[in-house]
Structure 1
């Protein structure tokens, strides 16, 4: 994610914003929107609600039933790939 460092003037304009704010250039063209953290958190909670432990367990069972791997198997596979890549140097 890119980061923009606010100058004092823009910080003053955005300070206390509790809703989405349009950001426009000098000609009035909208170039983006500023979304305060609390608004973004509410949006994300609706889009991606936390999974219950039962949902996580069911997803884990489904992945393993379809050829999934355990964490240990995944890490071992990554180590093997790393060793092979390093041997080609």
Structure 2
């Protein structure tokens, strides 16, 4: 890596870090001004999002895999039956 490329990468990384820190500080300030029941409600919402979304994604991938495997066997069986039907005729 040349020095100019590394400097560009470093500048971009520093900018990203600065933006993330700015967003975190703003979020903390917002949380500080919220009443406790609202904070509790948002915590429950985030907990549900964090726990349900990965579960839904995993189930989607699992059922998609099952569908693809079952479809492959069905297409293979259908092709073999079709070949057997044309051989007999």
Which range, TM-score by smaller chain?
Answer: 0.3 to 0.5
Higher relative contact order (CA 8 A, sep 6+): 1
- Structure with higher helix content: 2
Normalised TM-score (structure 1): 0.36
